[in-house]
Structure formats: C-alpha cells, structure tokens
Structure 1
C-alpha cells in the first residue's frame, strides 16, 4: 500500500492537492499501510502515518494565501468566504498535528 501511494504521489504531485478523489485515495492507502505494518515494525507504521500527516499539512498550506490579492482570488474561484478558506486550512493543520502526535 505504501509503495503504491508513493508511486501515485510522485507521478502527479499537483493532482494530489487539486483532486479530492486522489487525496482520499492516498490517505486510504497510507492508512492501510499503517494498519498492515507488523507490530514489531513500528518504523513502517510511523512512515505511513507521517506521510498522512504531510498530506494534510500540504493541503493546509495550499489553502493559505500569500497575499491579500491571492485570498480574494481564491475566494472568488471557490465562491466562498475568505474566512472559510482559512478555517479549512486550520482544520488541515490540526489534522496533521493529531496524526503526528499519534505516530
């Protein structure tokens, strides 16, 4: 599961954050890899959980604008309130922290 997720992620890195289906697929593959890791190999479990955390962290970063103009552009593209975009980013960062702590 882990190797397949790495292949998919490396093949099209931009698609990981743009496609919700790809993002969910990668999360699922990394979760299965963590669950399938032998109990004596905590390093394998940690690696899979770490990648899950990184995915959430990268998704959060992609929702944080670099300037005021960028936040307005993002809000117009998604037809959403700028505050909602930042809340989504905060949620992704919090998920990443929870996963890091669990690893």
Structure 2
C-alpha cells in the first residue's frame, strides 16, 4: 500500500458514517417516508428543497421519530463558483439546517 493510500485510510476512519442513504424529494414518488419504513430502507434521507423549511417539517419530524436522519442539500448555494455566497443565503441555509436538525450539510 502506498503512503498516500495509507494516509487516506487513516483519515477516513475519522469521518462520520450514516450508512446507505437515498437522495429524494418530499412530495414526489418515491415517497421518502414510505421508503424509510420499508425493510432494508435507507439509513438516511438526503433532499434538496426550498430554503424555507416549514412545508417539509412534518415529513422531517416523521423521519426523526423513525430514527432516520435527514441531510439538507442546499441547491441554492454556489459551492464551486468564483464568488462567495451572499450572507443572507448562508443565514437562510443555516436556519433551515437548524430547523430540520440536518445531520450535516
């Protein structure tokens, strides 16, 4: 094993693990909640959606009661462009992440 490969193995051991997930949207098929209830369903649900969390909070709370974490994918943010995101965008995403208790962003 090369030194680089060994370093990757060492560093990877410190990363959090959620298991196998599914990237889905609330309100369309397949239903994230039904899928999470299924035997062998995903360990977590990743979703992209509006920055205002209130429309999806009931579904997110249902998943939390089932012990299924959610990951918010903020498609509104520019993660690879040459300019920074406006502070108001970052604040809105932070409020969303806090409201849904996103496992990470």
Structure having the higher helix fraction is 1
Structure having the higher strand fraction is 2
TM-score (norm: length of structure 1): 0.36
Larger Rg: 2
Higher relative contact order (CA 8 A, sep 6+): 1
